[in-house]
């Protein structure tokens, strides 16, 4: 049990791996599902999938308070640096880098990425994290279904974290097809039940996935963790 994932509601996740604390898409202020406030967050690294406000969230304030390093695509990292954040690392789609917490590769995502002030946030991304004990975690980010999820699945995914909310991202039907392409051992659905517009029946989706695939679904409540 070297890696633990916590869902803070919406698309905000904490990953604690071998003592390194990562926050993915640190949206706490204004996130109606978050059980904690931005100023309570501890982090060594902040990973941002794309430029939308519900993903960039409190990144700047948390980075300045905790001195966490911000990791995202080059456009978002440049924008974050201009807001006064000192420690950043820009990557881009298809590129990986070995950090102390593991090897992190940026994957494709089908979505937008404009930053909160309208600046160009480049292309949206997902993350493929290989932990220091060789576990593979695919964080799809905000995305529609795309066939190359099969290529990502070919790496052998232990855990996939995918959106199911519909409207802005894949809905339950396409998310089920995504699981069939990725074939992960475990799945955690996110980006749903934050607002009425993306309200979904998590347990019903979990039953369908487990009937039609070999994957095991874990429905977390905001604040709950899953140990990998």
Cβ 29 to Mn ion, closest distance in Å? 15
Cβ 210 to Ni ion, closest distance in Å? 28
- Site mask for Mn ion (CB under 5 A), range 52-91, x = bound: --x-------------------------------------
Calpha distance 64→67 (Å, rounded): 5
Q: Which stretches of 121-185 are assigned E, i.e. beta strand?
A: 125-131, 136-139, 159-163
Nearer to Mn ion, 53 or 156 (CB): 53
Q: Is 166 in the site for Mn ion (CB under 5 A)?
A: no
Cβ 73 to Mn ion, closest distance in Å? 16
Cβ 207 to Mn ion, closest distance in Å? 25
With b for 16 or more beta-carbon neighbours within 10 A and e for fewer, the 65-78 pattern comes to ebebbbbbbebbbb
For tokens 């993350």, the residue is 127
Q: Is 142 in the site for Mn ion (CB under 5 A)?
A: yes
Q: Which residues bind Ni ion (CB under 5 A)?
A: 52, 142
Nearer to Ni ion, 108 or 206 (CB): 108
């Amino acid at each position: 049990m070297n890696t633990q994932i916590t869902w803070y509601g919406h698309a905000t996740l904490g990953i604690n791996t071998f003592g390194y604390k990562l926050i993915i898409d640190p949206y706490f202020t204004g996130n109606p599902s978050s059980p904690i406030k931005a100023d309570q967050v501890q982090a060594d690294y902040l990973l941002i999938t794309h430029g939308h406000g519900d993903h960039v969230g409190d990144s700047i304030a948390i980075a300045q308070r905790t001195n966490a390093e911000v990791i995202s695509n080059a456009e978002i990292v440049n924008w974050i640096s201009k807001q006064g954040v000192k420690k950043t690392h820009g990557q881009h789609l298809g590129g990986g880098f070995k950090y102390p917490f593991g090897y992190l590769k940026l994957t494709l995502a089908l979505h937008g990425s404009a930053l909160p002030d309208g600046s160009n946030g480049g292309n949206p991304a997902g993350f493929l994290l290989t932990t220091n004990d060789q576990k593979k975690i695919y964080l799809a980010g905000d995305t529609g279904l795309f066939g190359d999820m099969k290529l990502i699945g070919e790496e052998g995914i232990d855990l996939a974290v995918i959106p199911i909310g519909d409207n802005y991202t894949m809905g339950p039907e396409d998310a089920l097809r995504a699981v069939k392409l990725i074939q992960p051992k475990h799945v955690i659905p996110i980006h749903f039940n934050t607002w009425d517009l993306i309200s979904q029946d998590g347990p019903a989706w979990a039953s369908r996935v487990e009937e039609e695939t070999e994957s095991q679904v874990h429905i977390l409540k905001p604040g709950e963790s899953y140990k990998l």
